[in-house]
Amino acid sequence: EKGGYDHFMLKEIHEQPKAYRDTMRGRISEDGRSVQLPELKITPEQLKKINRVHIVACGTALHAGLVGKNVIESLVRVPVETDVASEYRYRSPIITPETLVIVVSQSGETADTLAALREAQRCGARVLAITNVVGSSVAREADDVIITLAGPEIAVASTKAYSSQLIAFFLFGTYWAQTVGSQDEENVAYLLAAMQSLPEQVEHILAQAETIKSVAESISHHSSLFFIGRGIDYAIAMEGSLKLKEISYIHSEAYAAGELKHGTLALIEEGTPVIALLTQEDLYEKMISNIKETKARGANVLGIVNEGNEVEVAKSVDRHFAIPRTLPLLTPALSVIPLQLLSYYASLALRHDVDKPRNLAKSVTVE
Judged by CB under 6 A, the residue of 110, 137, 148, 326 near ligand F6R is: 110
Q: Look up residue 90 and give its amino acid.
A: Y
Measured from the CB atom, the residue of 58 and 71 that comes closer to ligand F6R is: 58
Measured from the CB atom, the residue of 155 and 202 that comes closer to ligand F6R is: 155
Compute the least distance from the CB of residue 76 to ligand F6R, in Å: 24
Choose the stretch contacting ligand F6R; rule: CB under 6 A; options: 104-112, 143-151, 322-330, 340-348. Answer: 104-112
| Nearest to 8, CA basis, from 152, 211, 213 | 152
Quick one: DSSP state of residue 179? Answer: H
The two beta strands, 224-229 and 80-84, are unpaired
Q: Does 130 bind ligand F6R (CB under 6 A)?
A: no
Q: Does 111 bind ligand F6R (CB under 6 A)?
A: no
Q: Does 106 bind ligand F6R (CB under 6 A)?
A: yes
Choose the stretch contacting ligand F6R; rule: CB under 6 A; options: 105-113, 121-129, 268-276, 291-299. Answer: 105-113
The backbone region for 52, taken as left when phi is positive above 0, alpha when psi lies in -120 to 50, beta otherwise, is: beta
Contact 138, 111 (CB under 8 A): no
Helix (H, G, I), strand (E, B) or coil at 291: helix
Choose the stretch contacting ligand F6R; rule: CB under 6 A; options: 74-82, 99-107, 225-233, 279-287. Answer: 99-107
Q: Could you tell me the maximum CA-CA distance found in the chain, to the nearest angstrom?
A: 58
Q: Does 107 bind ligand F6R (CB under 6 A)?
A: yes
Compute the least distance from the CB of residue 102 to ligand F6R, in Å: 13
Interaction mask 25-64, ligand F6R, x per CB under 6 A: ---------------------------------xxxx---
Q: Which residue(s) pair with 228 in the sheet?
A: 255, 276
Q: Does 137 bind ligand F6R (CB under 6 A)?
A: no
Q: Which residues contact 311 (CB under 8 A, 6 or more apart)?
A: none
Compute the least distance from the CB of residue 366 to ligand F6R, in Å: 11
Q: Look up residue 267 and give its amino acid.
A: L
Interaction mask 158-187, ligand F6R, x per CB under 6 A: x-----------------------------
Q: Does 201 bind ligand F6R (CB under 6 A)?
A: no
R_g of the chain, CA atoms, integer Å: 20
d(CA 237, CA 47): 31
d(CA 71, CA 232): 9
Residues of the chain by 3-state class (helix, strand, coil), percent to 5: 50, 15, 35
Indicate which residues carry an active-site annotation. Answer: 362
Judged by CB under 6 A, the residue of 16, 82, 105, 306 near ligand F6R is: 105
